Structure 1
Amino acid sequence: MDVPFFLSLFVLSHLLLLLHSFSAQEDNKIQVTCPKSFDCKPFHQPLSFPFFNSTYSQCGLCAVTCGVPNRHPQIQLGNEGPLYDVIPWYDVIPVENIPKNVYHVQIHDQILQTHLENRNCNAFTDLKFPDSSSISFTLINSYLPFFKCDKSSDLVSPTEDHFKGYHNYTKCKDYNLYYKFPDDPLPSLPPDLPSCSVIHLPLNSSNMNATASDPFHLLATTFPLELRVSEDCQKCYQGGGQCQNDNQTFHCATTNKGIDTTTNL
């Protein structure tokens, strides 16, 4: 191989490496200028990060659907999962005297409401929200914990012995429920009850006179939720970037344009 050909091959290979590096850097940049806020009637004030609408799908962590006639705005928590109605009188706002990365929103769970109205035991499924490295979701205020114990287990007698003094509901096909109402918290799940798990569901605190033996009457379908943006994501946003998750690994996508601090939708 002569020297000129070798040099040409060397230069070409390095050019390809540089192009690949440049492309990777561009992939980590966002190509949209995000508005500081957007209107979403009937909320009393504009919404902003971590919320976004369909026009600017790269500009937040929770999609909000607004402006549909005769229905509440809806929110999707994370990139997947069901839509929840947002109750407008409890605006989506930062919480006073708490860091700016914390928000409260009141949502309505239509699926849970349908299960409760039909007395469907699928209502007793732990509420799980799609936490990520950028944002997490937590039930706040009143919730009711249950021990949910598999009926197929051979440990029926020890289970019943352990839950003496508890309310119970035994009409579900696959499991029994044990709980305390209204005020006593559940103790830790004992290790000798492997067939049991703990679930948490929103408590209807306005119906404290409900019959304790019927858990379908104890639960709420409209409840407040706390949204907490991670510190890394908050810093990314404040620095003009956008929070992205790659296989649950956080990274900050940047742009020269960053956040438009003047434009509303």
Structure 2
Amino acid sequence: MIIFVFLFMSFILSCHSALNDSISIPVCPESFSCPNFAPFKYPFYSGTDARCGLINVNCTSTGGNILIGEPRYEIFGKYDSSSSVVIFNRTFEKLVNNESCEALMNNFTSPNPLLYSISITPFITLFKCTKNTSHAEATHAYFNQPNYKSHNTCTDYNFYYDYSVSNATAPSDLPHTCEVIQLPMIGGREYKLRNTTNIFSLLTHSFFISFSLTRSCEKCHNKGGRCHANKGQFQCLCDQRGIYFWTVYFVSC
């Protein structure tokens, strides 16, 4: 007996009533503006109605701030219609100025990876490796290369980085006791004047951050829908109906 298991993602492209799921979709503005900035479009939204977008922007009399996860960040600039802004992270600034180990663990990732990812420019890749394990000696030997610098004064972790490679990706043979951290890095001429042996001197609190819709969310948006996550499941909602994505298994003998 041969069993075939076929797994695929099913896309229901005709909407069914969103009212059955107690979800109503408001009429949302195509764009909105904050003083001194280029217009904001989806996935940004203004106000309190999260059904109009994924990333909340609060406009003020002089500019605005943006909500990414828990904290709000001051918007320093938005120069075109893309999904990119320059933000000013005051909390990160204090941590860096105090050379706090907490700053080195402040990984910038999407709070909702089902719907969108985020990237920062420029960034430096750090490798956060657990101290006091049976693999500590092997880990140190792995990073004992000319270009790698280290920061070893934190209680539980050692941090390694290659300052000569901008936007480095994780090596395929990275020790399993290490994880990747990406932090905003200063750029241009200022970078060349910094002490590369001090990781905190390479970090910045003001940086570009870009938002990219996931493939499913982009398809949904291109068809006029709104992306939504409900209990860990992706949903695409139209003005009056919903499009749902789910996994279907077929088994035949």
Equivalent position to 2:196, from 212, 216, 219: 212
CA contact (8 A) 1:130 1:137 kept: no
CA contact (8 A) 1:28 1:254 kept: no
Check if 1:173 corresponds to 2:173: no
**CA offsets per residue over residues 139-180 of structure 1, 9 Å max, x none?**
24x211122222221333222222223211211122222222
SS in 2 for 1:116: helix
CA contact (8 A) 1:29 1:254 kept: no
CA distance, structure 2, for counterparts of residue 22 and residue 37 of structure 1? 26
Code of the aligned partner of 1:143: F
CA distance, structure 2, for counterparts of residue 241 and residue 134 of structure 1? 13
Measured on the aligned residues, the alpha-carbon RMSD in Å equals 2.7
Code of the aligned partner of 2:52: C
Check if 1:27 corresponds to 2:22: yes
CA distance, structure 2, for counterparts of residue 235 and residue 35 of structure 1? 20
**Cα distance change, pair 29–210 in 1 and its aligned pair in 2 (3 A):** same
Greater percentage in strand: 2
Which 4+ stretches in 1 moved above 4 angstroms? Answer: 21-24, 184-187
**Map of 1:60 onto structure 2:** 53
CA distance, structure 2, for counterparts of residue 138 and residue 201 of structure 1? 10
Greater percentage in helix: 1
CA contact (8 A) 1:180 1:186 kept: no
Measured after TM superposition, the shift of residue 26 of structure 1 is 6.2
Equivalent position to 2:138, from 158, 179, 198: 158
TM-score (norm 1): 0.72
CA contact (8 A) 1:75 1:83 kept: yes
CA contact (8 A) 2:18 2:24 kept: no
SS in 2 for 1:93: coil
CA contact (8 A) 2:44 2:54 kept: yes
Measured after TM superposition, the shift of residue 108 of structure 1 is 1.9
Measured after TM superposition, the shift of residue 55 of structure 1 is 5.0
Equivalent position to 1:197, from 179, 189, 194: 179
SS in 2 for 1:52: strand
Residue identity (%): 25
Code of the aligned partner of 1:132: P
Measured after TM superposition, the shift of residue 92 of structure 1 is 5.6
Code of the aligned partner of 1:118: N
**Map of 1:74 onto structure 2:** 65
**Cα distance change, pair 195–234 in 1 and its aligned pair in 2 (3 A):** closer
SS in 1 for 2:34: coil
Check if 1:134 corresponds to 2:134: no
Larger Rg belongs to: 1
CA distance, structure 1, for counterparts of residue 217 and residue 36 of structure 2? 28
Q: Which has the higher contact order (CA 8 A, sep 6+)?
A: 2
**Cα distance change, pair 55–23 in 1 and its aligned pair in 2 (3 A):** closer
Equivalent position to 1:91, from 58, 72, 79: 79
Measured after TM superposition, the shift of residue 91 of structure 1 is 2.7
Measured after TM superposition, the shift of residue 256 of structure 1 is 5.0
**Map of 1:223 onto structure 2:** 207
Code of the aligned partner of 2:97: E
